[in-house]
Chain A
Amino acid sequence: MRSVHRLSTEGGGFVPPSSNDFNLPPVFGNSAYTTKPILLVFLSVLLVSVFFLLASRKAAIVPSKLQFAGESIYAFVRNDLGRDVIGHEFMRFVPYLFTLFTFILTNNIFGIVPLLQFPAMSRVSFPYVLAIFTFFVFHYVGIRKQGLRKYLKDIMFMPGVPKPVYILLTPIEIATFFLVRPLTLSLRLFANMFAGHLLLLVFILGGDHLLKGVIGLKLISPFAFAFGIGLTFFEFMVQCLQAYIFTLLTALYIAGALADEH
């Protein structure tokens, strides 16, 4: 114990990052509405809007680089997430899917953009709201398409099962469609962003702390920073993947609600 104590720095021990690091104070004023995550969300809306307005403004047959970038993202969402998953009625849902994908992607990537460096989706309320949107969209679509009775019947009663078994299966179906789906959708995004940000904090703050230690610890410090940098690239992958998964699952839920028999 004593030797461990000698190794640590003089002024206080290392304070490991915790969930407290996600409760940020207001950037200005004293309002709960001026915290960093909320301002970042506004910034992301602004950035996404401006980017796609600029990209689509002077649309030409031979696209500029900006137009090409904008159209690539749009085509990816429309074709890979809309058309391939939902089928022939997909165009109605492309605006929602596209908004969802670009919004989540931008906010996630803010987690590794220097100076911003905070993924708003690591505050659980944001993913909750997005999942609530998806929840209402896919149920509404299903009810509109098939009528309330048939839609609920399709969810609750799997065909080709002896009647008594429904006592066992129907509660599971109801729990899946009305509770587990929105919950897993939001928590998956939240947990990935939360864990990713925490991981980066551990390695970067840890490296910084080691740098202030005795010479032996100073030598280890670059490894912590190197890990931090490596994990930043890894985080970029996770951030893109989570935006994709959220949109893909939304599309799959819509497709399931549209299908006559899911």
Chain B
Amino acid sequence: MKQDEGAAWSIFGYLLSGLIFWGGAGWLLDRWLKTHYFLLGGLLLGVGASIYLIWLRFGRE
């Protein structure tokens, strides 16, 4: 039960990291290229990658 609680917080952490890193990368690209769609793309990519990572870590057994 404690491990489940820990897993819940890790999942939250991974989602946040994905959003921050790839969303941040997209935001920087947007600022650099004066566009406005890399942020959205980065956020989606980040969530996707995070969910993949979460599946790898917790869903594979």
Contacts and interface: CB of A to CB of B under 8 A. Distances in A.
A176 B17 contact: yes
A100 to B, nearest CB: 16
Contacts of A84: 2
Interface string A132-161: 000000000000000000000000001011
Contacts of A249: 6, 9
Nearest to A178: B17
Interface in B2-56: 2-3, 5-6, 9-10, 12-14, 16-18, 20-22, 45-46, 49-50, 52-53, 56
B9 A172 contact: no
A9 to B, nearest CB: 44
Contacts of B14: 172, 176
Interface residues of B, number: 24
Given A158-B56, A181-B13, A184-B9, A172 B18 contact: yes
B20 A180 contact: yes
Interface of B: 2-3, 5-6, 9-10, 12-14, 16-18, 20-22, 45-46, 49-50, 52-53, 56-57, 60
Contacts of A85: 2-3, 6
Interface in A184-242: 184
A171 interface: yes
B53 A172 contact: yes
Using C-beta atoms within 8 Å of the partner chain, give the interface range for chain A. 20 to 34
A258 interface: no
14 contacts: A84-B2, A160-B60, A161-B56, A172-B17, A176-B10, A176-B13, A176-B14, A176-B16, A180-B13, A180-B17, A248-B5, A248-B6, A252-B2, A252-B6
A245 B8 CA distance: 12
A249 B14 CA distance: 15
Contacts of A113: none
A85 B6 CA distance: 10
A71 interface: no
Contacts of A181: 13
Contacts of B56: 158, 160-161, 169
B14 to A, nearest CB: 6
Contacts of B2: 80, 84-85, 248, 252
